[in-house]
Structure 1
Amino acid sequence: MIKMLKLLGSAASLTLLASPVLAASKSRADMSVVLVHGGFVDGSGWDGVYKLLKKDGYEVIVVQNPTSTLEDDVAVTKRAIASAKGDVILVGHSYGGFVVSEAGNDPKVKGLVYITAFAPDVGESVASLIANPPAGAPVPPILPPVDGYLLLDRAKFASSFAADVRPDVAAFMADSQVPWGVAALQGTVSVPAWKSKPSWYLVAADDKMIPPPAQRSMAGRAHATVVESPGSHAVYVSHPDAVTKLIEQAAQGAPAK
C-alpha cells in the first residue's frame, strides 16, 4: 500500500495552477452538485458553499453520511446521486474523498472535486495512508476509540481542524462532532473513479490534518486540475467562495451529455 511518506516523496512532480480559479460565467442547468462531508463532522459545514451554488442556479444535494463504514457511506451517497435531477459533480472533503472515489463510478457522475481530501488508489484506506507520517508532520489530536468510534480532542479541535474558522463556529463544530467509525478508516477503494473521470483538487495550504505535500501528491497522481487556497482543513467553511469557484469550474469543464 502507498503510505503517506511515499505520497510526500512524489509531491515535487506536481505542477500547480498558480492563478486563482475564475467563477463560471453561467451555471450548467443540466448539472447537479452532490456534497459529501468527511470525518468528525456532518453536512452542515457545507452551508456557505451550498448557498453560493444555489444562488448560481445549481441543484445541490448535501449528503449526511453516518461515517460508520465506507460501504455504508458509499451507499448513502449513491442514493443521493440517484436522486439528482441532472448529471452530477461529486464533491468530497477529507475522508469524503474516499467516498466519492468509490461512489463516483456511477454513470451520472461527470466529474470529481476533492476539497483537501484523500484521493485514494486501489486497495488504499485512510488507515494505510496515515500510517508512518513523516517526521515533523502535525499529528491530529484523535482520542482513543470508544466502542469502535473516534473523536478529536475538543480542546484541540480548532487549532488542528478549523484554525481559520470563526471561534464560535469552530467551538460548535468541536462540540457537535460526529463519531467516526474505526471501520470506516479501514475501508478500501476498489476502483477509484478518478482513473476514468476528470477531477479537480483544492489544496488547503494551512491544513494540519492532511499535510499539504500529501494533498499535492494525491492530486498529481489523479491528474487533477489543482488550485491552492489559504485555509485550514475546514477550508470549505472558512473560504466557501474559493471552494465554490472550483466546483463551478468542474461543472463547466465536465463533459456534457
Structure 2
Amino acid sequence: MRKILTMLMVLFVIAAHAQQESLVRFEQYVQAGFNFGALTPVSLPNNIRRIDSWVPKFCPSIGYEGVYRFNERWGVGLAMKFEYKGMVVKDSVAYLHTIITVNEDGQTTEFEGDFTGTNETHAYNGYLTVPVNAVYDPGGNWRFKLGFYMAFLVDSKFEGTVSDGYIRNGDSLGEKIMISEATFDFKNELRTFDVGLQGGAGYRLSKKLSVEGNLNWGLRPAFPSSFEGIGFNMYNIFLTLGVAYQIR
C-alpha cells in the first residue's frame, strides 16, 4: 500500500508539472538604453536656493532579462544589467554644510563648515543592477512591470567645485573665509549598495522588438548618515528609456 501511494503521488506530481509546463513560457530579452535623472534629495532643502542648470551625462544601460510566465497575463521577471547614473548640476546655495579643499600657492587646506555661493556637482556612478518585477501583459502590444531593484556600486565619481562665496568654518557662526574656488571629492564615501522601487511599460514595435520606459526610485541614501560632507540625504532617481529585443 505504501508503494502504491508513493507511485500515485509521483504520478500526480508528474501530471501536475506537465500541465503547468503547458501553461508556462520562459522569455528572454536583451536590453539597451540610457538613464536620465539625478542623484538628488527628494525635496529641495532650504540650503539650495536656486537650480541654475542640469545637464545629463552619457549614461548607458545594457542588460539581460528573463521572464517566467505563469499564464498569458502574468509572470515574474529577473534581470541583470550594467548601467551608469549621473549628471552635472549647478546651483546657488546658502549655508550648505560641506567639506572643501582650497589649493593656493602650492598649499592645500581643508575646511568643513557652511558654504554660501555657487556649487557645481559632477556625479557619474556605475552599478551592477538586479531588478525583480511582476510582469503584466493585458494583451495587444503593451507590457507593464512593477517591482524593486538591488544595485551594487562598481565605479564611482562624485566631485565638483564651489566658488564665488564664503564658508563659515566649523558651523554657521564660525570664522568667515572667502572662497574664490575650491574643490570636493566624495566618491570614496558613497555607499556600495543601493535598493529601490521601479516600474514601467513596454510597447511592441514588432514580434521581437519593443521600446521601454522604466522609472527607478532609490530608497537608500547614497551617503551614510555618519558622513558630514553633504547636509541632506540624496537618492538615485532615474528614468531609463531604451529598447528590448526578445531572443527567445
TM-score, normalization by structure 1: 0.23
Say which one has the larger Rg.
2
Q: Which has the higher contact order (CA 8 A, sep 6+)?
A: 1
Q: Of Structure 1 and Structure 2, which has the larger fraction of its residues in strand?
A: 2
Q: Of Structure 1 and Structure 2, which has the larger fraction of its residues in helix?
A: 1
